């Protein structure tokens, strides 16, 4: 039986519950943390990791994110121990992920799967130009309100409102209305509502599809997959690995279909670095 880690270090006993009221996010109370901490990672696993809020704490602005000191050595060691089956799966473009994690250049999916790179280094892209009416709606919001940040992506864009959380309702209504007013565009594009961000992406790409594409290739193929992510945008990836016989880990609060939960990026670091005593690969069937 593998050693278990102290649960208090990895997951709190409760998490805050928020209510959405007139566009404002209000803390309603505390709810019991019902998901368990994940078991130690098996050496036979394929590991998929979100970036913001999972490996690196979320910063007020996307460009202000700092990568904790444990991340690069841990990713390097895990990649070696898992025979290269470690990938980053993020809403950020591949180029940004590579810059944050240099000199590492891991398999990765960027822009919610609109571009992804397997272990061979070959990059696949499914790019598209976002509908102009929606871009204009976002630009109007940014022009009207200081603190909103518009971030261009290889396919789509993000509107960040972390510095102006009181504008969530207004941003939501304007952006969703702009897309809904263009039925042809609505058939191709959709909004993701993450932590203080609205992200426009093509319906034909997702973190889940990117995970499935990587799982079809060496060295990921045949390994029980594990996905770790902190946001609603990670649920597709969590669903994909659990359908493939692995498990998902939700970081922080919020509803999730994941089987396990870790409290924050520090807890992710504890979990990922502690098992440099990785579980032996012969326990492959349990991920
Ligand atoms: Mg995230």
Q: Taking residues 59-88, report their average pLDDT.
A: 94
User: Does 281 have pLDDT greater than 70?
Assistant: no
- In this structure, whether the domain defined by 132-202 belongs to CATH 3.40.50 is answered with no
Residue 63 vs residues 52, 96, 99, 214, 233: alpha-carbon distances, Å: 11, 9, 11, 27, 19
Choice between 19 and 116, residue whose per-residue pLDDT is larger: 116
| CB 208 within 8 Å of CB 192 | no
Do residues 153 and 111 lie in contact, with contact meaning Cβ atoms separated by under 8 Å?
yes
282 C-alpha to center of ligand 1: Å?
31
- How does residue 249 score in pLDDT terms, banded at 50, 70 and 90? very high
Mean pLDDT of the 181-210 span: 93
pLDDT higher than threshold 60 for residue 29: no
Q: Average of pLDDT values for 26-34? A: 46
The residue written with tokens 């409760």 in the block is: 14
- Which amino acids are annotated catalytic? 50
**Distance of CA 50 from the midpoint of ligand 1 (Å):** 5
Predicted model pTM: 0.82
Question: How many other C-beta atoms can be found within 10 angstroms of the C-beta atom of residue 22?
Answer: 6
194 closest CA partner among 266, 247, 270, 252 = 252
Q: Domain 7-121+205-286 carries which CATH code? A: 3.40.50.1000
Question: Residues with Cβ within 5 Å of ion ligand 1?
Answer: 50, 52-53, 230-231
Gap from CA of 167 to ligand 1 centroid (Å): 21
Instruction: Please determine whether the domains at 7-121+205-286 and 132-202 fall in the same fold group of CATH.
Output: no
Compute, in angstroms, the gap from residue 6 CA to the centroid of ligand 1.
Answer: 24
- The reported pLDDT for the residue numbered 154 is 85
Specify burial of residue 104 (Cβ count, 10 A radius: 0-12, 13-18, 19+): middle
- Domain range annotation of the chain: 7-121+205-286, 132-202
- The strand pair at 24-32 and 14-21 is best described as antiparallel
Question: Which pLDDT score is estimated for 193?
Answer: 92
pLDDT tens digits, one per residue of 146-175:
999 999 988 899 999 999 999 999 999 999
Residue 14 has pLDDT above 80, yes or no: no
Distance 18 CA to ligand 1 centre (A): 18
- Over residues 184-198, the pLDDT tens digits come to 999 999 999 988 999
How far apart are the CA of 1 and the centre of ligand 1, in A? 32
CA of 249 to the centre of ligand 1 (A): 12
């Amino acid at each position: 039986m593998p050693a278990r880690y102290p649960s208090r270090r990895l997951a709190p006993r409760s998490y805050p519950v928020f209510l959405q009221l007139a566009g404002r996010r209000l803390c309603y109370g505390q709810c019991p943390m019902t998901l368990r901490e994940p078991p130690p990672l098996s050496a036979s696993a394929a590991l998929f990791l979100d970036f913001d809020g999972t490996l690196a704490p979320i910063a007020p602005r996307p460009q202000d994110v700092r990568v904790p000191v444990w991340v690069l050595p841990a990713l390097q060691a895990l990649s070696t121990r898992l025979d290269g089956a470690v990938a980053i799966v993020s809403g950020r473009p591949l180029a940004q992920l590579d810059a944050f994690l240099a000199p590492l250049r891991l398999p990765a999916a960027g822009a919610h799967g609109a571009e992804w790179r397997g272990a061979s280094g070959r990059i696949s892209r499914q790019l598209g130009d976002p509908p102009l009416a929606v871009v204009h709606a976002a630009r109007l919001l940014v022009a009207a309100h200081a603190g909103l940040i518009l971030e261009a992506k290889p396919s789509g864009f993000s509107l960040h409102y972390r510095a102006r959380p009181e504008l969530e309702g207004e941003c939501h209504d304007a952006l969703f209305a702009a897309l809904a007013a263009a039925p042809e565009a609505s058939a191709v594009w959709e909004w993701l509502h993450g932590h203080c961000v609205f992200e426009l992406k093509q319906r034909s790409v997702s973190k889940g599809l990117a995970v499935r594409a990587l799982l079809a290739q060496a060295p990921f193929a045949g390994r029980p997959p594990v996905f770790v992510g902190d946001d609603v945008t990670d649920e597709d990836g969590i669903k994909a690995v659990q359908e493939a016989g692995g498990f998902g880990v939700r970081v922080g609060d919020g509803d999730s279909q994941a089987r396990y939960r870790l409290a924050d990026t520090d807890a992710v670091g504890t979990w990922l670095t502690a098992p440099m005593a990785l579980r032996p690969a012969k326990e492959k069937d349990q991920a």
